[in-house]
Structure 1
């Protein structure tokens, strides 16, 4: 009998409707931050959400999350410059634990705005923190989120990710020498097919075709993998075709240059022989002067 009652209670609990905040994945309560999240995620009104996030920050309500979320929404609304200034102005109100995630948002904002120098400087700063053992608040891993799912990230993975972003930033400045150094370091730490393709492209830009071929072949042969292997292989194939074209063009250019040198040398010899006057081709007046001089001499 007792078992039957327990089953009924379990059934009743299963039949109960889940709370609103659970269904819509918003925090519970009625604070400024909660209202901002409700407007953002349920009502789908980003501009109104930004106003409410400002109110939450000014009220001191979950400032860490409010500032970060507001910056992300601003970026989506093409207000990235405003988001950068907001983070710089109010990050001192946030906890020490929130600074790292704010830096990650800033890096994305700098990228969005094309502020590459600032992006590079911040990426270097994050690498310094890793080398000094201060990243992840001194822990070997941290919990990250992507598409609503949580997962663990190691220091090794984070270092490779930052190096990849730094390599990409150098590519935007056409600083392929620095990009190659950074991408090679990233590959030593945590090999990745997408970064390998970028490395191959940077080597191609420097006309280091044999090295580029070796890197891209590793991707095509599956010796280097990534999160999206099919996409990386397709890109590697495209780069391989481009590389073959560049090598063919270089070969033809070299051959053409050699042929032109030979043709020029032959042509120059002919021109010199034409420019050197022979006795038989002197103008008549010179022949007459020569004859007169011979007669006088006699």
Structure 2
């Protein structure tokens, strides 16, 4: 009877961990997750996450999870300092995900310049073949679901984020170049709408209309998404209200293109890896972009 009760208790305990998505065990990291997910006590969770980091209990997971909880409590600056200070205790394979956490935190508190630096670093790692720990794909997680991400998809995603960061600085020419490269790799409606917005801001209405038509005609993935449809209609109204009156004035505000990374992305890539034979096929494709513009 006692053995039966013990077995039943073990099954209930295992079921509890499955239902609440809490790891098994009794260390500080497990207690932190219990406070976070079961007790719904973020302050207590942070205390336990700190203890986990200090005693070396799943440091990378504790650091990432603590940063997420701190962000929810609007303690973003503190989360940034924690990640930067303690990421050295984490294994190499955890650094990419920690970079993603930092980018998200920078975005939350409006540190655009820091975002740009880190996004360029991640693109450099992809170019050198060091992303995904040298593998062509990786497993990612979103809203509790796992899925595979290819280097190609990750490159396009990072370029899209870089374009968005430049848009926040009103550097629409730089953002345009980045979005065009991202679309060449893995096109979708969201990046197309952002590209259209950049062209509108440069008073290049005919080019903007051509980009917008791909969304309005449902030629791109995500074109039928309700948010994309609403935004596309808004951009169309803006285009209809504006007519080109003169050639593009290079002195228009927001056209600062001083960034060498964007002035010649292929040249900077060569500086990253002088041996061109090591370049990923992705970058071989996008390096022809300037030649296409010249035609």
**Partner of residue 94 from structure 2, selected from 98, 103, 116:** 98
Q: Superposed, which structure 2 residues align to 1:1-298 within 5 Å?
A: 17=12, 19-226=15-222, 229-247=225-243
Which runs of structure 1 show a deviation greater than 6 angstroms over 4 or more consecutive aligned residues?
none
Aligned equivalents of 2:94 and 2:233: distance in 1?
41
Note the alpha carbon deviations across 1:43-101, whole angstroms, 9 max, x for none. 00111101110000001000010000000110111001000000010000000010000
Aligned-residue offset at 1:228: 6.3
Which structure exhibits the higher relative contact order, with contacts defined as CA atoms closer than 8 Å and separated by 6 or more residues? 2
Deviates further, 235-244 or 98-107: 235-244
Give 1:255's aligned residue: none
Q: What does the per-residue CA deviation read over 1:83-140, in whole Å, with 9 as the maximum and x for residues that have no partner?
A: 0000010000000010000000000111111111110000000000001000000000
Distance between the aligned counterparts of 2:175 and 2:147, measured in 1?
29
TM-score (norm 1): 0.77
Distance in 2, Cα, partners of 1:150 & 1:53: 24
Higher helix share: 1
Measure the CA separation in 2 of the matches of 1:65 and 1:82: 17
Q: Is the contact between residue 205 and residue 239 of structure 2 (CA under 8 Å) also seen in structure 1?
A: yes
In structure 2, do the counterparts of structure 1 residues 21 and 228 end up closer, same or farther at CA, with 3 Å as the change threshold?
A: farther
* Structure-2 separation of matches of 1:246 and 1:205: 11
User: Structure 1, residues 178-203: CA drift from partner, whole Å, max 9, x if none?
Assistant: 00000000000000100100000000
Q: Give CA deviations for 1:233-284 in whole Å, capped at 9, x if unaligned.
A: 2211110101111228x59xxxxxxxxxxxxxxxxxxxxxxxxxxxxxxxxx
Q: Which runs of 5+ in 2 are unaligned?
A: 1-7, 247-295
Bigger Cα Rg = 1
CA offset digits 1:204-259 (Å, max 9, x no partner): 000000000000111010111228633212211110101111228x59xxxxxxxx
CA distance in 2, matches of 1:62, 1:100: 16
Equivalences, count = 237
How many Å apart are 1:22 and its aligned residue?
Answer: 1.2
User: Is the contact made by 2:70 and 2:76 (CA closer than 8 Å) also made in structure 1?
Assistant: yes
Cα RMSD, aligned residues only: 1.8
| Structure 1 residue runs without a partner (length 5+) | 1-12, 252-298
Contact 2:216 2:223 in 1 (8 A): no
Q: What SS does structure 2 have at the residue aligned with 1:85?
A: helix
Q: Could you say which residue in structure 1 is the equivalent of 2:283?
A: none
C-alpha separation in 2, matches of 1:39 and 1:63:
17
